[in-house]
A = this chain, B = another copy of it.
């Protein structure tokens, strides 16, 4: 396969992945283009590459910067701004984990913590079910929180090489 075709396919697959993850397609595609570019790119180059409007590039770049996946780069002597994507995919993954933990897990935990305090009524079956489910969610959410915190702390080499042994060790305890 020729490089150009492969790049197109990559941009497409990364866009689909983004959509699956609730990230808009264009945002993911801009990220893909930056991932594959050895050099920083300007807004005009991104508009050209993806055939999209300036406003669209601008908004999605801002969002990518907020996620920590892209940063501005000023090239001395150049008037216009350039953008660089984080190329270490483990760093990208950690960014996404941190961001989603902050935006989704933490609000969930806050709400659930309130809900488990609902006025008790031990005779009601409805109450029992409610309290069981919410307390269960609370426990799992804590587990996910711990997992994400730990994962965002480990090095890429650890993740890539050691994760296979993660559960095997524990299983021996049985």
Chain A contact residues: helix, strand, loop or mixed: helix
User: In the complex, are the beta carbons of A137 and B103 less than 8 A apart?
Assistant: no
Q: Which residue of B lies closest to A149 (CB)?
A: B167
Q: Which of A48-56, A58-66, A68-76, A85-93 contacts B (4 or more CB under 8 A)?
A: A85-93
Q: How far is the CA of A31 from the CA of B76 in the complex (A)?
A: 55
Using Cβ atoms and an 8 Å threshold, which residues of chain B touch A166? Answer: 146-147, 150, 166
19 new A-B pairs (CB below 8 Å) besides A9-B115, A35-B133, A89-B139?
Answer: A1-B118, A2-B118, A3-B121, A3-B124, A9-B114, A10-B115, A13-B111, A13-B115, A17-B108, A20-B22, A20-B103, A36-B129, A89-B140, A90-B140, A93-B144, A140-B156, A140-B160, A143-B163, A166-B166
Q: Interface on A for B, CB 8 Å cutoff?
A: 1-3, 6-7, 9-10, 13, 16-17, 19-22, 35-38, 87-90, 93, 100, 103-104, 107-108, 111-112, 114-115, 117-119, 121, 124-130, 132-134, 136-137, 139-140, 142-144, 146-147, 150, 153-154, 156, 158-160, 162-164, 166-167, 169-170
